[in-house]
Chains A and B, each alone.
Chain A
Amino acid sequence: DAKTTQPNSMESNEEEPVHLPCNHSTISGTDYIHWYRQLPSQGPEYVIHGLTSNVNNRMASLAIAEDRKSSTLILHRATLRDAAVYYCILSPPNSGGSNYKLTFGKGTLLTVNP
């Protein structure tokens, strides 16, 4: 089964860029890579997703390695509101039945210092 590995914690300073890594060496060719973040006492919030190419949106950028065995979430200018647990997720095509392998990492706790 595909797995994801993330650092337990990272620290950044406000207004500096943050690079959050995720290793997924057993990723399948059809798995999408998603990133979500979760603040205390809230449900996860979507950040970004991609398949093969790098992606940008208003929140962040996603850099995907050419072999797809790793990816990096980039927050261009961290703010205090970005302090959260960040999850890297592999999302396969519909299985049409049991044992759908939607794989979550343990998450990285990002601390942002003022």
Chain B
Amino acid sequence: KAGVTQTPRYLIKTRGQQVTLSCSPISGHRSVSWYQQTPGQGLQFLFEYFSETQRNKGNFPGRFSGRQFSNSRSEMNVSTLELGDSALYLCASSFGDLSYNEQFFGPGTRLTVL
């Protein structure tokens, strides 16, 4: 069974630009979650999509948005990039409810904002 894949793996953008990251979950998984990981703040939950609907959302500004397609693939968009958005963005897929299901993480997309 193929794992969670994320594209691109590395990305360099400049302040003010916008970026879209992509995540393909494990086949059969309907839940896709996104996380931001930085040395200072650690791992932080961004949001979760289930069956094309945002089910849970963390405490991030509206510049961070996402969507999920009918095949469960998900995209995350960050608009008006700031230097502080430089981070490793991780995607995770799960069969069902986040609270009691195992999440499978992808390798992440390393975003650098200059």
Contact = CB atoms under 8 A, between A and B. Distances in A.
Contact of B105 (A43, A95, A96): A43
Interface of B: 4, 42-45, 47-48, 55-59, 90, 92, 97-100, 102-108
Contact of B58 (A46, A49, A100): A100
A41, A44, A92, A95: most-surrounded residue (chain B CB, <10 A): A44
Nearest to B105: A43
A61 interface: no
Interface of A: 30-32, 36, 41-46, 49, 51, 87, 91-100, 102, 104-107
A43 B92 contact: yes
Given A43-B107, A99-B58, A49 B42 contact: no
A94 B42 contact: no
A93 to B, nearest CB: 5
A87 B35 CA distance: 14
A46 B102 contact: yes
